[in-house]
Structures are given as structure tokens and as C-alpha cells.
Amino acid sequence: MSKITVHIPSPLQGEVGGAEQVQLQADTVGGALKALGAAHPGILNRLLTPEGEVRPFVNLFLGECHLRTLQGLDTPLKDGDVLTIIPAVAGGSGKDYRLQSLKRSIPEITPTKAFALQAGGAVLIDVRESDEIAQGSPAGAYRLGRGYLELRVEQSVPDFNCTVLTLCGSGSRSLFAAESLKQLGYRDVRSIVGGFNRWKDEGLPFEVPQMLDETARSRYSRHLLMPEIGEKGQQKLMASKVLLVGAGGLGSPASLYLAAAGVGTLGLVDHDVVDRSNLQRQVLHRDDRVGMSKVASARQTLAALNPTVRINEYESRLESRNVEEIFRDYDMVIDGSDNFPTRYLVNDACVKLGLPNVYGAVYRFEGQVSVFWPARSGPCYRCLYPEPPPPELAPSCAEAGVLGVLPGVIGLLQAVEALKILLDLGEPLLGRMLYYDALKACFSELKLVRRPQRAYCREGAVFPGYLTSFPP
């Protein structure tokens, strides 16, 4: 018996497990084909007629010689011979052989059957690309995309024992997707025959989802790669509204990164103008804007960074008469104020309106970050500081100074907390304060205690009005 090599063409590679060549032993070409058929059932029927003749659309070569110029199937073989199979092809995809193989190994079901299974709890995954999904997709489907399916699916479908249904445009890509899911460990995977085209033809319900345009997909591509955010999370950010009290040291980094992240609406409250002494830490502003209102300067910077973000300017002092009117249209407030009356006013309005208050404060080389949100069982600012300290014990930055980069650290942490809350990710700093010592380069986490006896955040309490201090 001679040891030979049989070259398998692309259209037939699915019959031999995807191999491009097969090693076997035989004395003749006919014997080699029979050995190939014995090892890989199904391929012989595609090469030979029932009578055992080479099919007319198949050519066989031994080395460089066509079998018809030799002794046909009786041509003897010797060690090292190479037998090449050349079937007729008409162009098309080299994946056809794989499709035929997958159709034998992956269960295919009709859209109507898939719809019934989905209603019973099966998971439907639309593996088409975003431009296709923008034309419509079955309601309730996970829209993961074929390109990143393996990276994203376990976040969306953690149960490997559930029934998973894959859908594409016409039923081909869904077979490849189903195969990948089976390789990942999903036990019951089925492909929807005919894809979304047949889904519509059978009159099954679908929806046209809101999709990001190409500019947004490019800008936020790194967010879209994260299964915890993805397109759905990015759309949520773009629909969010965040109010920043103060366009100074803390408001600068917080607003810059929230705008970069794509938060759809940013409100800026600040009655001050840009001073040259601000520029050491307030990176929203520039030297040529000295004397300009801070909110106007901030708008220019943020619009240049991300022109799709809406900027609302409130060039006024925050007071009890306007605080609710300003706050009520926002999802949260980031407190970057620099005086105690404003901090207590921000806290009290957030308590009354049920808004999260992302708190930040800096002093010389030290900073504090927390989230005050009694509506989610967290403490409020008055739980931590029932009353402000006397002025001589709490000098301002203008009096005590501050390391220029410190507000950058604290403001960025405020932005992180804001994004976590907007995306409902992780654990916000509720009931916890993060304390930063820049000189020691260390963070400390401190537990905060809610004081339910305090009238402002006690459950069922009647709001006592806007006060600058709290009676003992």
C-alpha cells in the first residue's frame, strides 16, 4: 500500500472536516477514492456516479497528469504521489462547503417556530450589522453583531443551558454564529432559516430600534466595544442630563469628560467670570478669556470638544428662589461649588427632588468624593455635616491655596461616579467617602452614617424649606 496525499478543493472541504488535504494509503486511484469515502462518508457520492465512474463535472489529476491520459481509476500509485480533485465551480463563496456541513450539524427552525420559542423564554440573537438592524429587528432580540459576538454574548446570555436562536439576513451567517456559540459551550443553539427576510415575510412583529449614526459610532467606538455599555448604554448617556454647579476647578475636569463621554445635555451654573488666577487649575478656560463669564467660556471649550452635546448656561448665582427651577430638568447634580451656603442649598434641593448629588471638595493637598442620595437609602450632606464650620476654621482656596492638579483628580472621580449612576453600573459611593491625600499618594474609604432623625432626608419628612444651617 502506497502512502499518498489527496488535495481537497474548497467546495468539498466541509466533507472532510475543513481539511485541505488528506493522507491515506492505497494501491490505485480508485482504491484511494474508496479509502477517502470510507474515512469521510458523503464525499464519494459527490465524486463518483452510482456506477462507480468519475462524475463529468469532476477532474482528477495524479501529479500534473489528468487521469484520462493514464489508466483511469486503475492507475497505480506509489509512495509520495499527490492526487488532486478539481470539480467544476461557478464562482461564489468558498464558504458554500461549510454551509452544507453546518446545515447538517446545526438545527434550523422557521421564524414562526423561533417566535414561539422566544415567547417561551428562548434567547434570540440578531447577528447582523448595525446598518442592517437599523432597518428593523425582532422585538426583544439581543443585537450583538457577528463581528463581536464571541466577546459580548456571555455578558448578555450567561446561561449556557438556555435555548439560543441566531438570526441574520437570510440564514447563512446565523449558521456560522450558531457554530461559534456551540464551541463556546452553549448546548442548545438553533439557526433561523431564511433570516430576517423570512421573518418579515411571515408577518412576525419587529421594531425599528434607535441606532447611532456613523459619526457617533466612530466617536464612541471604545464605549461600544464594552459589553457593559455598548450601543444601548451609549444611547442612554446621550439621553441623559447632568447639571454641574460651578464651572471652576471641579467642574472643569468633570464637564470635559462627561462631554467627551457623550452625555447629551450638560447644564452649567456659575455667576463668576474668568480670572487669571483660575487658570492654574480651571482647565475649561484660557488666558484670552480672562474677564469672560465662566459659563460662556466653558461652552466654547465643551462645544469644541464635542459639538453634539447640548450646553445649558445659567449665568446666575444659585439661590433658593431659582434652585428648583434649574434642578428639576436634570437627572443628577455634580456639586463643584466653593462655599458652604451653596453646598447646603444643593443638598437640600437634591433631597427634595430625589436627585443624586455627586459631591466633591478640595483643600490644599486633600480631596473628598461621595454620592449623597437619600432616595436610594444613602445619607445626605447634612447627615455628614449638620452645620457649616465657622469661617475661621474653613478657609477658601483663595485664602489657603490648592495644588493645581488636585481638582483634576477629584473632578474626574466625580465624573466616574456620574457615569456609573447614569449607566447603572458598579457601586456608587453611597454611604462612603473617598478621601485622597496627594502628598501621601493614598486613598482612604470612610463609611458615612445616615442620620434619619434629620428632617431633610428622613423618610416621610415634610421639607422644612431652604436653610443655610440645620438646628441641633
Return the C-alpha cell found at 313: 448656561
Sign of CA dihedral 272, 276, 282, 286: positive
Quote the CA–CA distance of 431 and 450 in Å, as a whole number. Answer: 7
Quote the CA–CA distance of 427 and 132 in Å, as a whole number. Answer: 36
Name residues whose C-beta falls within 8 Å of residue 16's C-beta, 6 or more positions apart in sequence: 8, 22, 36, 39, 40, 43
More confident residue, 306 or 42: 306
Quote the CA–CA distance of 181 and 198 in Å, as a whole number. Answer: 23
pLDDT at 470 exceeding the cut of 70: no
Do residues 259 and 302 make contact, with C-beta atoms less than 8 angstroms apart? yes
What is the rounded average pLDDT of the residues 410-415? Answer: 98
Q: What pLDDT is stored for residue 472 in this prediction? A: 39
More confident residue, 453 or 56: 56
Q: Which residue matches cell numbers 452635546? A: 309
Active site residues: 397
Q: What pLDDT is stored for residue 455 in this prediction? A: 64
Q: Which of 66, 307, 110 is nearest to 203 (CA)?
A: 110
What is the rounded average pLDDT of the residues 4-9? Answer: 91
Q: pLDDT by residue (tens digit) across 337-368?
A: 988 899 999 999 999 999 999 999 999 999 99
User: Cα 192–196–199 angle (5° rounding)?
Assistant: 80
More confident residue, 398 or 351: 351
What is the rounded average pLDDT of the residues 446-470? Answer: 75
What is the rounded average pLDDT of the residues 396-407? Answer: 80
Do residues 466 and 320 make contact, with C-beta atoms less than 8 angstroms apart? yes
Where in 309-390 does DSSP place strands (E)?
310-314, 332-335, 357-363, 366-372
What is the rounded average pLDDT of the residues 98-109? Answer: 83
Q: What pLDDT is stored for residue 392 in this prediction? A: 61
pLDDT at 306 exceeding the cut of 50: yes
Q: pLDDT by residue (tens digit) across 153-170?
A: 998 899 999 999 999 999
Q: pLDDT by residue (tens digit) across 198-238?
A: 999 999 999 988 888 889 989 999 998 888 898 889 999 99
What is the rounded average pLDDT of the residues 62-73? Answer: 91
Look at the pTM and tell me if it is higher than 0.85.
no
Q: pLDDT by residue (tens digit) across 279-301?
A: 999 999 999 999 999 999 999 99
What is the rounded average pLDDT of the residues 118-127? Answer: 96
Give the chain's mean pLDDT: 90
Write down all domains in the chain, each with its CATH number in brackets: 2-91 (3.10.20.30), 106-201 (3.40.250.10), 233-447 (3.40.50.720)
Least confident of 26-30, 50-54, 111-115, 439-443: 50-54
Q: What pLDDT is stored for residue 471 in this prediction? A: 43
Q: What pLDDT is stored for residue 92 in this prediction? A: 52
More confident residue, 212 or 112: 112
